[in-house]
Amino acid sequence: MNTKYNYSYDPPPGGTSEWITRAKYLIEPPACYLTFAVGIALAIWLSLSGSRYGYHILILLIALPVHELAHALTADRLGDHTPRYYGHITLNPFAQLNLIGSFLVLMFGLGWAYVPITPNNLRPNPRTGHMIVAAAGPIATLLLAFATAILWQVLSPAFNLLDGRTYLTMLNMFYFFTYLNIALFIFNLIPLMPLDGFFVLRGLLPPHLAYQLDKIRPYSNIVFLALFLPPLFTGGRIDFIGPFIFGPAQWLARLLY
């Protein structure tokens, strides 16, 4: 391969969880278990109260760790032990979270976390290996959505014995968790940094086109902001990307329920 097409990867700035690892008590047992339990209890209470922030906290504390663990385990199996070295083969959310991505999840239900990898260690080669690792996260998120829907089908007869209001409240909690996971799956496949879709597309493209994609990577943040900021400042009246994420997610979630 021509040397100008050699694979390179620079982790996004601020991608590590240093912002939270400074508070060691949050990520080390047994305090992390208590913090997690309090967070889940708060999320369930808010969800049962009808607040969307409850669903967002469930995504932050459950869906994102599952997503990132899939990245970490896949990288580990493909020969890169960087996630294991840095303690990312875990479902502990406080070892995975990213400041900007976590804020977006809390506000809008969509965002990201971060697992460090060293692509040059990956099999069968850095570009293909990174594509497989990147794809593992969204696939895990989609499987979690299906697993949640299946769990509802199993538990719904028991919930049906309760009063109608409680039944509908539980249905909403399961439904919205499934819906947001599907939306997160679609969101992460957008081919813009720092989302997984960028590396999936990069791995699928021929080397010369992957090289051209790398050349526009520095502008990804600008494109990302141009796509996702208008709804915030226009009250949703101008939304370039939302219908392509939330529309299909709602359709599939309704189909599952």
Catalytic residues: 68
User: What CA–CA distance (Å, rounded) separates 88 from 68?
Assistant: 8
Task: In whole angstroms, give the CA distance from residue 187 to residue 105.
Answer: 12
Pairwise CA distance, residues 103 & 111, whole Å: 8
State whether the Cα torsion 151-154-159-160 is positive or negative: positive
In sequence order, the β-bridge partners of residue 97 are 113
The CA distances from residue 4 to 30, 86, 203, in Å, are 49, 31, 16
| Residue written as token pair 């392509």 | 244
Q: How far apart are CA 27 and CA 85, in angstroms?
A: 16
Quote the tokens at residue 101. 């991505």
